[in-house]
Structure 1
Amino acid sequence: MGKVSGVFLLVGLCLGAVVAMVLIPPSRSGPAAVADAASRVTVPTVDTGPEEPVASPPPSSSGAPGPPPKSVDIQALADLVPGGQVSVVVHDRTTGKNTVSLKPDRSYTSASLVKLLIALEALQAGTPPGTVQRMLSASDDDIASRLWTGLGGPLIVTRWANKIGLAGTRPPEDPGRWGDTRITAADVVKIYRYLLDQAGAGTRTTIMRALSGATESGSDGVRQYFGIPDAVGSLPWSVKQGWACCRGSRILHSSGTVGEGDRYLVVVLTSQPASTTYAGAGRRVTEVVKALLPAIDGM
C-alpha cells in the first residue's frame, strides 16, 4: 500500500501542475499568477437584459469643436452712426443665408453704387472692358456720365432692376443725376449675387478684377478705402464704394466681397449728417464693418 499511495501522490501532483498550466495565461508567471489561478471560481452566467451604454469620456481640448460663431449686436451697429442712418447685410454664399441684417429695405441715394448697373449694361453693349474697369476701380464719374447718357440713362436702372429682381431700386427723379438712383442694402446684395452666380464669365471677370483692384483714392481725390478695405485686415476683398454730399446729408457706402472665393457679401449703407467730414464719416463706416467681423467665418 505504501508504494501505491506514493504513486497516487505522484499522479496527483502531476495533475495539479497540468491544471495550473491551463488556468494561468502564458504571459503571466510566478507566485502571484499561481495565487490568481487558485482563486478563480466559475459562476453561472446570468442574463440581465440589454447592456447599458457606457458614457464616453469628453473629447480632449485638441479635438473639441470650436466655439459657435459670435453674434453681432444689431443695436450697437446703429449706435456707431450717431445722428444718421445705417443699413447692413452680410450674406454667406456658402450657406446661402444672411448672417447679419439691419434695415435691409431702407432706401438710400446710391451715389456710385449705381455704377455696378452701368457696368453690366456697358459690357452687354460692347463697351471695352478697360473703360468699365477704370470707371469702377477709380470710381470715375466722367466715364459713368458718358456711359449713362449713351446707354439710356434711367432705362439702365429699370432694365436691370427688372432682370435681377431689385424690389427697392428706382431710377433718379432727375434723369441726368445717376447718383440719385435709389437703392437698398438687400438689392445691392442681389446685384453681387447675380454678378457672381449668373453673369457671363467675361462680365464677371472684368467687374471683379476692377473691384479687387480698387484704387485707394477715387478719381475725385476722395479716399475710398474706408469701410471694408480698412476693416478686414489681410482678408481678400473686392469693393465698390459710394459717397456723395450734401443735399441734406453725407452719403457713404461700402459694399463688396470678403474672404476666399468671395464667400461673404458685405453691404453697409449710411446717411450721415452733412456736418460730418468725409474722413469722419468714413471712420464710422469702418467701425461698422469691424463690428461685423464676428459674423464672418474664421475671424
Structure 2
Amino acid sequence: MRKLSGIFLVGLCLGAVGAVAVTASHGSSATPKPIAVAEAATTPSRTPSAKAEPQPEPKPEPEPKAAPKTQPAAEQEPEPGADVDAATLDKLVRGGNVSAVVFDRQTGKTSVSVHADRGYTSASLVKLLIALSVLERGGPVADVQRMLSRSDDDLASRFWVAYGGTSIVTRWVAKLGLTGTRPPAEPGRWGDTRITAADVVKIYQYLLDHGPSAILAALHAATERGSDGFRQYFGIPDAAAGRTWAVKQGWSCCGPTRMLHTTGVLGDDSRYIVAVLTEHPAGVDYPTASKRVTDVVTKLLG
C-alpha cells in the first residue's frame, strides 16, 4: 500500500508540474509587449544564433577640397599723366601759363611733358641750388633744412650772399647741363632766377642720385605754412591723396603776374619726379591760383 501510495503521489506531483508547464507556456490571454528596438539591440541572446554576415565598413566620405587660396592681385597704380595733354592743362590755368613734367625713375621714362621748356621766375625753387652749394662746402645743415622745409627767405638771402650769389646758378647750370636756367638780371634778387620744368626735373634727379640726404629729408618735412605764413601745401601735397611725397614749393608776391610752383617726388622710393610751374594774372587771388595748381596735379595723378 505504501509503495502504491508513493508511486501515486509521485504521479500526482509530476502531473502537477506538467500542468504548471502548460500554463506557463500559454500564459494569459494578454498580448506580450514588444521589446524596444534599443533594448533588443543591447540585450544578449540566450540561445546561439547563426553568425551574421560581416558587413563592409562604410567608406569615409571624401572631404571637400578647399578652393585654392589666391593672393589678391596687387592694384596697379595708374601711371601719372598717361592721358593728359597740353590743352587739358591749359584749361585749368585760365588766362595764365602752365608747364608740367612727370618723370618715372623706375622706368626711366617721362610720362608727361607739357611746355617743358617754357621759362618762369623761379621764386623759391632756386633754394634747391642754394642748398646744394651750402652743403657741398660744409655749411650748417640745420639752417639749410629750415630754409627748405619752411621756405625761409632770410636764410636764403644770407646763403646767397655768403656762397657766391649768381655764381651759384651758373655753376650748377654747367654741372647739371641745365638748358633753360639762368641767374637773375639783378644779382641780389635770387628769386628772379629763370628756370624751366625740364631743368627742375634734372635738379631732382641729381638730388636723388648724388645729393646730400639732408636735402630730401627737409623736403619730406615741409611745413604747411612757410616762414612768411603762406600755405604751401597746394599742388602735390593737397593732391597726393595719402601717397608719400616730398616737396619744394615756390610763390612770388609781386609783379604783373603771380608765380605758383609745386615740385617734388611722389610715391614709394621717390618713384615719380613731378614739376608743375604756373603763372597767373595778378587779378587771380592766391587761394584761387593755389586751387588751380592742385587741380593740375590732381589731373596728372589721375
Do they fold alike, i.e. is TM over 0.5? yes
Mapped partners of 1:119, 1:214: distance in 2:
15
Shift of 1:235: 0.2
Partner of 1:186 in structure 2?
Answer: 198
- When the two chains are superposed, the root-mean-square deviation of aligned CA atoms in Å is 1.9
Distance apart, 1:65 and its partner CA:
10
The one-letter code sitting in structure 1 at the alignment partner of 2:104 is D
SS in structure 2 opposite 1:189? helix
Structure 1 stretches lacking a partner, 5+ long: 1-61, 295-299
Code of the residue aligned with 1:137 in structure 2: it is: S
The separation in 2 between residues aligned to 1:279 and 1:65, in whole angstroms, is 34
Counterpart position of 1:265: 273
After superposition, the Cα gap between the structure-2 partners of 1:68 and 1:91, relative to the gap in structure 1 and judged at 3 Å, is closer
Give the corresponding residue for 2:217. Answer: 209
Q: Distance in 1 between matches of 2:139 and 2:145?
A: 10
The 5-angstrom pairing of residues 102-121 of structure 1 reads: 102-121=114-133
Structure 2 counterparts to residues 21-170 of structure 1, below 5 A: 71-74=82-85, 75-170=87-182
CA distance in structure 1 between the aligned counterparts of 2:149 and 2:245, rounded to whole angstroms? 13
Q: 2:163 and 2:282 mapped to 1: Cα distance? A: 32
SS in 2 for 1:239: strand
1:76 deviation in Å? 1.0
How far is the alpha carbon of 1:261 from its aligned partner? 0.3
Residue 66 (structure 1) shift? 6.7
Partner deviation per Cα, 1:102-131 (whole Å, 9 max, x = no partner): 000000000000000000000012111101
Q: Secondary structure at the match of 2:275?
A: strand
TM-score, normalised relative to structure 1: 0.74
Deviates more, 1:271-280 or 1:138-147: 271-280
Matched, 1:177 2:189: yes
**In 1, Cα distance between equivalents of 2:107 and 2:294:** 25
Amino acid at match of 1:151: Y
Distance in 2 (alpha carbons) for counterparts of 1:272 and 1:238: 24
In 2, distance between residues paired with 1:266 and 1:249? Answer: 23
Stretches of 4+ aligned residues off by more than 2 angstroms: 62-73
Percent identity between matched residues is 59
Matches of 1:218 and 1:277 in 2, distance apart?
18
SS at match of 1:218: coil
CA distance in 2, matches of 1:93, 1:99: 10
Letter of the 2:200 partner, please give it: V
Partner of 1:3: none
The number of equivalent residue pairs is 230
The alpha carbon displacement at 1:242 in A equals 0.1
Is contact 2:84-2:112 (8 Å) kept? no
Q: Which of 245, 252, 257 is 1:244 aligned to?
A: 252
How far, CA to CA, are the matches of 2:301 and 2:250 in structure 1?
21
Cα 1:64–1:150 shift into 2, 3 Å: closer
What's the counterpart of residue 228 of structure 1? 236
CA–CA separation in structure 1 for the residues paired with 2:292 and 2:269: 27
Q: In 1, distance between residues paired with 2:223 and 2:75?
A: 40
Q: Tell me the secondary structure at the aligned position of residue 254 of structure 1.
A: strand
Distance 1:286 1:293 in 2: 11
CA distance in 1, matches of 2:237, 2:186: 32
**Separation in 2, partners of 1:65, 1:237:** 20
Task: Give TM-score, length-normalised by structure 2.
Answer: 0.73
SS at match of 1:208: helix
> 1:71 deviation in Å?
2.7
For 2:237, give the aligned amino acid: P
CA distance in 1, matches of 2:203, 2:236: 18
Letter of the 2:192 partner, please give it.
D
Does structure 2 retain, via aligned residues, the 8 Å contact 1:154–1:172?
yes
Superposition deviation, residue 277 in structure 1:
1.2
